[in-house]
Amino acid sequence: MQTFDATYYDGQTAVRHAVTVHLYAEALDIVDADGQVIDQWSYQAINLSDQGGGITRLVVKDSAARLVLTAPKAFQALKKRAPNIDSQKQRTLRNMGLSVAVTVTLILGAYVSIPLMASAVVALIPYETEQNIGRGYAKDIQALFSKDEKSNKCTVDKGVKALNDMMAYLATHSFGPFAYQVKVIDNDMVNAMALPGGHIFIFRGLIDKAESSDELAGVLAHEMAHVDHRHGLHGVVRGFGFQMLSDMMFGGNVMGNLSNLMMMMSHSREAERQADIDAIAILRRANISTAGIARFFERLKDKEDEGKVSFFKIPTMLSSHPASDIREALAREIQSPSSMGWTLSDIQWQNLKAICGK
Amino acid sequence: METDVSNDLRRSTVPQTRALIQSHVAGFDLLKIYIVNLILMVLTLGIYRFWGKTRLRRYIWGNIEIMGDRLEYSGTGKELFIGFLVVFFLILFPLFAVISIVDGLLAGDHEQARLVLAAAQGLIIVFLVGVAFFRARRYRLTRTHWRGIYSSQTGSSVKYGLMVIASYGVTLLTLGLAWPVCSVWLKRYEMKHTWVGDEPFGFSPSVKKLYRSFLVVWAIGLLYMITVSIMSMNLLDFQTIFKTTSEGTPSNPEEIQALINMIFVMYLGLIPIGLAFLWYRGRAYNHFISSTQFHGHTLTSTNTGFGFMWLTVSNSLLVFFTVGLALPWAVKRYLNFVERHVGLVGDGDFSQLLQSTQDRPSHGEGLADAFDVGGI
Ligand SMILES: [Zn+2]
């Protein structure tokens, strides 16, 4: 039988006991100076509290008592018998694994739950509020691309009139509660975006790229569908949720403001699908050929395959999720002879193309 | 001093000043912990902080010796993480979601209502910071063991949070003059609800004594405010003259000089104020410590205002010029300072002290984590 000296605290009083520890097969006995066994610890229940400066402090399950060892040999002898004693290194490794697992779980959990929560919150927000929020964002976007409202060149009267005519006609066939406002931004990007509350922005690059009024009408209908479904607001709420998560969970902004803005503006694949379905419905009701939008998407898709799509990855309908199954179906429709329906007159179309001046 | 824990405690019946604390913290050991923690924090986007904090505390507690026996920290990273989750999902997330939604609903033409909301939000945050501090203190105390018995804290964190709001409000309204009264009020609540084992602390500070030191700081602060406002008023005069005479680049050399002077005084003036405040804090700590009693003993403190001021300034410079690398040594210097200055008068016998019967919270510090209060 092995014995060694130790210090024992009984967990009931602040008395320090000088003791002798006797190691037996299943348990150790703690024996005081008078030779009395004052405590008995089963090896199974013993764990390490801390270790350092030549001192090892041991704890036993369901007890406040402590045993402090100073002789290194004593600890070695005990470690062989007590299977649950771990070292600081083992502890750090375990905590490391645990915290990595927790981090991954939190991130995955956030990506699943935040969009769901955002949908619930969006349902609670009145349309009027959404319009107020959208107004603010619209100002920000315009400020981002031009110094002030006056310096935006894309306000040539005839072009604006043609665009607004198209918008007004499409609006009579749309589904949503919002009044739409469409503006063109003088920028090369082939892009368009729908903000909360009905603000739609089209980049000049997209108008340049469009070969017919059907194509532009298709894009507009798609953006209107985003507005109707409140996808923009959903993005804002979702972005807010992620922002809060990154601020609080990770104790700082991990994603950065820019990526957060992108997160807010980008739509999910499901949202794009919804927008495509509704866009086609709007076009059909408005008696506009869907072949236009199909051709447009097809052309963009080819571009994308070449990897030449705009550098600025502002996620929008065009760049974020280009190949939904609806778009595939539309692509097939190109083959069928397009039925002629409503369209801008050639003059109107030329005016619209020149909305940013020449 | 070597800790010979197998020796029986020598008891003296004559009250005398004894050393209370001995620090065994080593700079390099601490640095190693800091570096491992930092690496793991980065790898886990910060989530490791709960476990890292625990590791750090375990080390520091375990290397602080009180009356011949080392402290023990028994908290775990898991408890901190659960505390964080509870606070995040049950308090912070719903609270700020509601505030944001209400703010959104008021957007547009309810500017006044939004201001009220913003003010309410500010009050809620001050309140929560108070609650967070008190709750974190409770968690830490119940995880601190000495000779096998643990410390604890009674009292209500909600009450403490309200006291913090009241203290800040009164201090603001009296231009800072009420601060010593408020700080004693808060400190007394903390200390009177602090227990080791089955016994609470006694605490009997004198506000009058604090004011003797505080008025010096307050006068310096007042002088600063008066100087800066006079200078800025002069500057305003210059500006009006300047605007009527010419438009464009500032040309008046007198005006430029006045502007430079003001900026100079404004920033440099902060240095003596900061130093004076540190001096006051050193003296206040001294007074608070010597006003503390426990188990028939009275704590003593020999630190001076200048001593504490120098410790803080030199530690800050040390950390600043080593880009944080010397932080462990700053911690070590701080602990050594406490070791040098804090003592105990009494017979040194704590054998009648019994185990605590207070409940211990099952998790902790969630709010403190969110608001970054509580230090280590
Ligand atoms: Zn889209």
pLDDT in tens, B312-333: 999 999 999 999 899 999 999 9
Cα B180 to Cα A339, B207, B221, B312, distances in angstroms: 85, 7, 15, 21
User: Which among B34, B28, B72 is positioned nearest to B53, based on CA atoms?
Assistant: B34
What mean pLDDT is predicted for residues B286-303? 93
Mean residue pLDDT of chain B comes to 84
Structure tokens at B270: 């902060």
pLDDT in tens, A16-58: 999 999 988 888 999 998 989 999 999 999 988 888 878 889 9
User: Which residues of chain B neighbour A92 with C-beta distances below 8 Å?
Assistant: 36, 55
User: Which among A181, A152, A157 is positioned nearest to A355, based on CA atoms?
Assistant: A157
pTM of the model: 0.77
What mean pLDDT is predicted for residues A317-338? 53
pLDDT in tens, B95-110: 877 887 777 666 666 7
pLDDT, residue B329, reads 95
Residues B9, A16: C-beta atoms closer than 8 Å: yes
Query: CATH 2.30.29.30 occupies which residues in chain A?
Result: 2-86
Mean residue pLDDT of chain A comes to 80
CA A114 to CA A241: how far, in whole Å? Answer: 6
pLDDT, residue B321, reads 94
Cα B44 from chain centroid?
A: 28
Confidence of residue A308 (pLDDT cuts 50, 70, 90): very low
Residues A13, B107: C-beta atoms closer than 8 Å: no
CATH of A2-86, one of 3.40.50.300, 2.30.29.30, 2.40.50.100, 3.90.1150.10: 2.30.29.30
Q: Please name the residues between 187 and 246 in chain B that touch chain A, using a CB distance below 8 Å.
A: 197
A316, pLDDT greater than 50: no
Q: Give the minimum alpha-carbon distance from A198 to chain B in angstroms, rounded to a whole number.
A: 17
Residues A100, B43: C-beta atoms closer than 8 Å: yes
pLDDT, residue A154, reads 81
User: Which among B278, B313, B296, B285 is positioned nearest to B352, based on CA atoms?
Assistant: B296
Sign of the torsion formed by the C-alpha atoms of A149, A150, A155 and A157: positive
User: Which residues of chain A neighbour B73 with C-beta distances below 8 Å?
Assistant: 50
Instruction: Considering only the beta carbons, identify the residue of A51, A92, A106 that sits closest to B47.
Output: A106
Percent of chain A with pLDDT over 90: 12
pLDDT in tens, B225-253: 888 888 777 766 655 555 544 444 555 67
Which of B23, B47, B350 to probe by mutation at the A interface, max A CB count within 10 Å? B47
What mean pLDDT is predicted for residues B177-186? 94
Given the structure tokens 């203290």, which residue do they identify? B167
pLDDT, residue B239, reads 56
| Cβ pairs A/B, distance under 8 A | 144
pLDDT in tens, B10-69: 555 566 788 889 999 999 999 999 999 999 888 888 888 889 999 999 999 999 999 989
pLDDT, residue B7, reads 43
Within 13 Å and on the Cβ side, how many CA atoms surround A51?
Answer: 17
**Beta-strand relationship, B199-200 and B194-196:** antiparallel
pLDDT in tens, A220-256: 998 999 999 998 888 888 887 777 777 766 665 444 5
- Picking from A316-330, B55-69, B110-124, B264-278, which range would have the lowest pLDDT averaged per residue? A316-330
> Is pLDDT larger for residue B44 or for residue B210?
B210
User: Which among B146, B78, B156 is positioned nearest to B362, based on CA atoms?
Assistant: B78
Residues B46, A252: C-beta atoms closer than 8 Å: yes
Which of A15, A69, A246 to probe by mutation at the B interface, max B CB count within 10 Å? A15
Q: List Cβ neighbours of A313 (8 Å cut-off, separation of 6 or more).
A: A262, A319
pLDDT, residue B107, reads 62
A256 in Cβ contact with A262 (< 8 Å): no
Cα B149 from chain centroid?
A: 26
pLDDT, residue B116, reads 85
CA A348 to CA A165: how far, in whole Å? Answer: 9
Cα B193 from chain centroid?
A: 18
Tell me which H or E stretch contains B86: helix B77-87
pLDDT, residue B276, reads 92
Cα A201 from chain centroid?
A: 23
Q: Search chain B and give the residue with CA nearest A255.
A: B45
Q: List Cβ neighbours of B230 (8 Å cut-off, separation of 6 or more).
A: none
CA A223 – ligand 1 centroid, Å: 6
